[in-house]
Amino acid sequence: MFVRQILSSALRFGKLQKRSIFSLTNIWGSLYKFQVVIDRSSQIDIRNIHEMSSKSLELDQTEHADNKMTVKKLHDMDTIIRVNNIEKSEEDTRDYRGLQLENGLKVLLISDPKTDVSAAALAVQIGHMSDPDDLPGLAHFCEHMLFLGTEKYPHENGYTNYLSQSGGSSNASTYPLMTKYHFYVAPDKLEGALDRFAQFFIAPLFTPSATEREINAVNSEHEKNLSNDVWRIKQVQRHLAKCGHAYKKFGSGNKTTLYDIPKSKNIDVRKELLSFHKKWYSANIMSLAVLGKESLNELEMMIIEKFSEIENKNVDVPKWPPQPFDEERYGQKVFIVPVKDLRSLTICFTTDDLAEFYKSAPDGYLSHLLGHEGKGSILSELRRLGWCNGLLSGHQNTLKGFGFFEIYVDLTEEGLNHVDDIVNIIFQYLQMLREMGPQKWIFDECVKLNEMHFRFKEKEKPESLVTNAVTSMQIYPLEEVLTAPFLNNEWRPDLITTLLNELLPSKCRIVLVGQSYEKYADLVEPFYQTKYGTLKIDNATIKKWETCELNKNLALSLPNAFIPENFDLVPFDSDLSKHPIIIADTPILRVWHKQDDYYLKPKTCMSFNLSNPIAYLDPLNFNLNYLMVSLVKDQLNEYIYDAELADLKLQVATKSNGIEFTIRGYNDKQMTLLKKLLYHLFEFQADEKRFNILKEEYARSLKNFYAEQPYQHSIYYLALLLTENAWANNELLEAMELVTFDRVISYAKQFLSRLHTECFIYGNVNKKQAHEIAAVMNEQLELTNAKILPLLARQMLAKREYKLCPGDNYLFEKENEFHKSSCTQVYFQCGPQTDHSNIMVNLMAQILTEPCYDCLRTKEQLGYIVFSGMRKVNGVNGFRIIVQSSKHPSFVEDRIENFLKNYLQTIEEMSLEEFERHKEALAVKKLEKPKTVYNQFNQFCNEIALAQYHFDRSEAEVALLRKITKPELIECYKSFIGCNSPERRVLVVHILSTQYDAAENCDEWLDRHHQKITDFVAFKSSKELYPLASPYLNIQAKGARSKL
């Protein structure tokens, strides 16, 4: 008490800093050490800090008190501001504290004693808009280089290797105004990870050898995006910005901008990297979020020790001129030719920076109305006219000094002919909003929804929480980092009106994307070689949009009937089960149920899998099934939009055995939505005009598959080769010629006439309520199936996998004309899934992941995309390595084989301690608890869908993992991976870019002695199928049983 009085006096007379650490000696000679912290309300908190290291107690000042105590003050580097009043949801069990260190670093501490994963993220408010004019991509390059060694931890893969052996991983991203770094790790390994992480921002090496090599990785990343229309379209818009404005910059960078041109100008890129980091990587423009199992006090001491050394250069956050475009760019159309067959219209408005108005969110109010999908909306009218498939609206407000408000329209083929009419309808809606003025009831409804979402927000995964937090910390006060994105409850109609008055025809840019616009594309964007053109909109058209009359088909949305009113938790059943159990089972319906007793949210998830083998009978039926589902979703779109706003989600999807629909969210209004869906499904009706639009959209998506990334193609073709029955994309496209409206109607009747439904209900729902839900479905099935025999169990068997023989070494090659990069996938088949084989292959993958990446990507620079891991499909597991590269697949395959051959010795020489670390890292991943009701639902669903019912799979596998010895793993590696193993079974997929010089694919590459696959049917005909695994629970197969 006496100490507190003295400190209070010192505070009044300005003797204390925001945080001070003192050593006091009393009159008896006893030494006491304590920490004094002053939070923003000037409250003093005193804590004993005997545990502090001597380094932390470098004292530089002595003061004398009247009571003969000696006071020594810690160096100012450790002075902090503490914020204890972080606003959070009443349902949130985590503890939070905000800090601002003496060096200016903002910190959010998150304590979660029950966490099974720890995580951290750091954001620096510098992105590629701060690149030097003569070094485009330098900020992105700097992000890459920070991973490759620091003075304290010089090994290039030291950070990633530590995380890999600690059950963790990491990543980073460069944005226009920000660069973010983040990782997750096993809780006990957090401190070691933080120590390594902090050095990124204190003393990175930027070694000459790594600098020269990593330019190739940046270039490979750029080449991956050369045929990506999202990157291409965005870069055209940047390219059109006015000269001298930072928005115009090319942020990705490539070898030309970071090596060739600088070399020709005698620019030392490594020196520029060091200079960039030294200039901009300043603590005062950084934010750090850390989540761990430790207490807030323990986390605080950890952060002070490790991050106080980051230098504060007192950098001002760059702010950009408000207008990134010259006046001539407004009232202009931009035509862009995409790689894929895309069709879109985007109306872009440049706005003021609205970040300071986050509490009222005027942009959120307008986005809600313009992007609404209910009756009377812009989308509803455009769909009625057959001009549009979808619409999005939103504001980008992460650019200091200005922002963009955009309305994006996904056009139909007919919509291409009505661009000006579509724009006119959008301006009609905007004019209606101006005339009606801001509506308080709509704002209040949005506030109510946001408050509900925040209150019952699912527990975020640690890495997601910290990554989102560091962004919020750059925008909002520390107290509001959790609430600000949700609780925008300040009614400011004046701000809505001001923003609305900026969305004028004379101030817009219209970006049109379509392959039919090639005739207007007389220009080429230099970095992605995208063809584009511009055209000034004539004054008469602008005048027409400015004076447009109101449209009687447009109206404000109605009050949302799906907002839940009852958030009560249902009392637990007396016989509460640990896992899902079957509560009803007939030849046409099986119902699983599990009442949640862990997450305790007023939410329920339910899935219904409707099986009929005709759905995958042939490619035609697959297409008919897809379009039937598309038409059902299309009919429900306006109705379910309000439900989605109220976080009640409906998903309807095609499956190989039929269709599946899932409803999840607040349980209060779920039954209403379920009944509406069943009515539209079982009383199937369709509009032929909408059918023609959806058919064309689906056919276009099948064609666009060929422009996907090469690594996606390699995964697709491997699945096509090994799956028992899978229709190829080209087969589906050919069958589209036979798809008609009448055939879809006929197919729907046939499909719905004979079904088996498997249902799973999970969450805030007891057994009685689950039976009531099942009764609704059962009534509909009995009505439909009254005179039809139920499906037999053997009509619903799962797909199986083709079995490679020992010694098989197959190669499948496919050309790709869209991408400069090729892809190599080497797959090793390891056999049927069992707990033991699963965890053995999983452990092998765990050990190989980091060294594979380090060797093939970091050191050999084969390509930006390097992946290694386990493949578990159709009851069979295996191991695969995928590399997307500009180098020829034969060469890449050789390097993969070389790595695998050499790594055997590394495993043999691995210490037992390192081996045990890998086992523990894998155990941490396996035992990580699903973070949300939905995650747990999906995990249970997967076991039910596989008909394995192994609900304790992770625990069982980890129990076996603990017993695996190093010799066992070596034997597994030699058997499945070893080059000379007679048991080895390999299938290699090469996706070959046609942009290669043909001479490159010559005999200079090592002959792999592959058996080439040239005929799918012949290959599959020569192979056996693996048997289906038996279920872990003794449960009879679903469906009817035939009497033999």
Residue with tokens 């990491």: 170
Do 1039 and 587 touch, CB atoms closer than 8 A? Answer: yes
Burial (Cβ within 10 Å: 0-12, 13-18, ≥19) of residue 281: buried
How far is it, in rounded angstroms, from Cα 853 to Cα 839?
21
Q: Which two tokens stand for residue 62?
A: 């002595």
Residue with tokens 């992770």: 954
Dihedral pair phi/psi, residue 301, rounded to 5°: -60, -35
How far is it, in rounded angstroms, from Cα 219 to Cα 226?
11
Do 229 and 342 touch, CB atoms closer than 8 A? Answer: yes
Task: Give me the amino acid identity at 481.
Answer: V
Report H helices in 646-683.
670-682
Instruction: Tell me which of 102, 143, 300, 860 is the catalytic residue.
Output: 143
Largest alpha-carbon pair distance within the chain?
101
Active site residue 328: no
Q: Give residues with Cβ within 8 angstroms of 626, minimum separation 6.
A: 654, 698
Do 224 and 884 touch, CB atoms closer than 8 A? Answer: yes
How far is it, in rounded angstroms, from Cα 476 to Cα 483?
9
Q: Give residues with Cβ within 8 angstroms of 59, minimum separation 6.
A: 23, 72, 73, 74, 75
How far is it, in rounded angstroms, from Cα 722 to Cα 930?
31
How far is it, in rounded angstroms, from Cα 393 to Cα 500?
14
Do 250 and 257 touch, CB atoms closer than 8 A? Answer: yes
Q: Which two tokens stand for residue 44?
A: 């003093």
Residue (of 390, 307, 405) closest to 109 by Cα position: 307
How far is it, in rounded angstroms, from Cα 816 to Cα 810?
20
Do 657 and 609 touch, CB atoms closer than 8 A? Answer: yes
How far is it, in rounded angstroms, from Cα 391 to Cα 116?
40
Residue with tokens 């190093």: 966
Burial (Cβ within 10 Å: 0-12, 13-18, ≥19) of residue 515: middle
How far is it, in rounded angstroms, from Cα 685 to Cα 585?
30
H or E segment to which residue 803 belongs:
strand 802-803
Number of helical (H) and strand (E) elements in the chain, helices listed first: 31, 33
CB neighbour burial string for 857-886, b if at least 16 within 10 angstroms, e if fewer: bbebbbbbbbbbbbbeebbbbbbbbbbbbb
How far out from the chain centre does Cα 210 lie? Answer: 29
Do 19 and 38 touch, CB atoms closer than 8 A? Answer: yes
Pairing mode, if any, of strands 523-524 and 1024-1025? unpaired
Q: Which two tokens stand for residue 181?
A: 């770094």
User: Partners of 407 in the beta sheet?
Assistant: 347, 393
The three-class DSSP label of residue 855 is helix
Report H helices in 200-268.
208-224, 229-239, 255, 261-264
H or E segment to which residue 419 belongs:
helix 419-436
From residue 83, alpha-carbon distances to 18, 22, 123, 296 in Å are 12, 21, 19, 12
Do 49 and 21 touch, CB atoms closer than 8 A? Answer: yes
From residue 229, alpha-carbon distances to 234, 336, 820 in Å are 8, 10, 15
Positions annotated as catalytic residues are 143
